[in-house]
Amino acid sequence: MHLAVLNWRDPWQQTAGGAEAFAHEIALGFVARGASVDFLTCREPGQPASELRDGIRWLRRGGRWTVYPAVISRLIRERLCGRHYDFVLDCQNGIPFFSPLAVSRRRTGVAIIVHHVHDNQFQTHFSRPVAAIGSFLEGPVARRVYRRCVAVAVSASTVAAMRDRLHWTGPIELIHNGVHHETVPTLTPPTPTPPTPIIPTSTSTPRLVAVGRLVRHKRLDHLLHLATTLSTEWPGLELHIIGRGPEETRLRETAAQLPLPPTTRVCIHGHLPDEAKKGLLKTASIHLSASQGEGWGLSVLEAAALGVPTVAYDVDGLRDAIQNGATGWLVPPGATLTETVSGALKELSADPTRAATIRGACLDWAASFDWEHTRNAMAQLAVRNSRSPGTRTTK
């Protein structure tokens, strides 16, 4: 099978996040099953226009907005030259690529992957006229163009939002994100001890860690002000923010102006290599998210796989990724994020048995998700919905 994955960014770009991780993992799964995969995406300065990496052919054209016409142009050119993809995975990061307009309906199957509905984010990031255009493209236009295509949603929240807010009428399949689990050596001891977060006590220092892209809709300002408020109740509190994105400079400036006591630390690390990120995350008392909505919340699973619970707002995606009261806490109606974090810290510190139960629930919850399960589901979907193989692209 010859496939194309369309995503506006690749995993190594400055603003890459969970959607890019999902697309990359899916592409790796198809390569492992013998497929030929082209990953069509935008190009950042310094990146090659094309390269073979991880068995995937990465084809980069255009920038943040021009990637859309660039990808459509390539699909049309391939079709006119008689080189047809058997299947296209069209990732809608707010706006899809509208690939059904460019490929042969007879020769190429298409699935649209929707992580979450972006209508609220359009309003957060853009002016009202631009936000209205984005919502129109995401809703009525996409619904029309993809009406004969299967859609993939990554959470039950996304399925509900597509039906209720986008009025999506076509078939939707639910395929969750996976998570990477630390490999366990086959040497003794046969049952290794799970990573243990720092459990706060009346004399210890609670460590809060947030992982994600530094963009406006993640609302990381809430975490900075949370640290200021909690520093009186928890002397020596630490807040660590890991990630990169356009908000990094502003967040650093805001953090520098916070009226923090000398014992409180707020560290904005920027991007960290995976091992360094995991090393810091596994020492956290709590993982935090202040996002206004997610498709799933991949960082929540990554934290749970290390035995770390998450506190987040009760919003789309995060309410799917967190088992409230078991693997973390969702902010209840009428409460604030600060109040919920304070209550969680008290709960963890008051009862070590309860803290151990939460750690175990996190590990069990994360263990029920695996990227190989996700890849299998996507491979089966592609087989069911692909067209007869056409001429393979060999260049």
Task: Return the number of other C-beta atoms located less than 10 Å from residue 144's C-beta.
Answer: 10
Strand order in the sheet with 50-53: 50-53, 56-60, 36-41, 2-6, 87-92, 109-114, 150-153, 172-174
pLDDT tens, residue by residue, 277-320:
999 999 999 999 999 888 888 899 999 999 999 999 999 999 99
pLDDT tens, residue by residue, 183-230:
433 333 333 344 445 555 444 579 999 998 898 889 999 999 999 999
DSSP codes of every residue in 199-234: PP-TTS--EEEEES---GGG-THHHHHHHHHHHHHS
Task: Return the number of other C-beta atoms located less than 10 Å from residue 15's C-beta.
Answer: 16
CB–CB of 39/67 below 8 Å?
no
- What does pLDDT average to over the chain? 88
Strands (E), 271-309: 286-289
pLDDT tens, residue by residue, 246-256:
899 999 999 98
For the ranges 84-93, 274-283, 381-390, which has the lowest average pLDDT?
381-390
Predicted TM-score (pTM) of this structure = 0.82
Per-residue pLDDT averaged across 22-30, rounded?
96
pLDDT tens, residue by residue, 133-173:
988 998 899 999 999 999 999 999 999 999 999 999 999 99
pLDDT tens, residue by residue, 342-354:
999 999 999 899 9
pLDDT band at 123 (very low <50, low <70, confident <90, very high): confident
Task: Identify the structural domains of the chain with CATH numbers, from first to last.
Answer: 2-178+371-385 (3.40.50.2000), 207-367 (3.40.50.2000)
Tokens 């050119």 sit at which residue? 77
Per-residue pLDDT averaged across 101-116, rounded?
92
Per-residue confidence (pLDDT) for residue 181, from 0 to 100: 74
Tell me the CA distances in angstroms from 355 to 103, 299, 336, 351, one per residue in order. 53, 20, 22, 6
pLDDT band at 260 (very low <50, low <70, confident <90, very high): confident
For the ranges 111-125, 289-303, 374-388, which has the lowest average pLDDT?
111-125
Cβ within 8 Å of residue 287, ≥6 positions away: 208, 209, 210, 211, 281, 299, 300, 303, 308, 309, 310, 311, 328
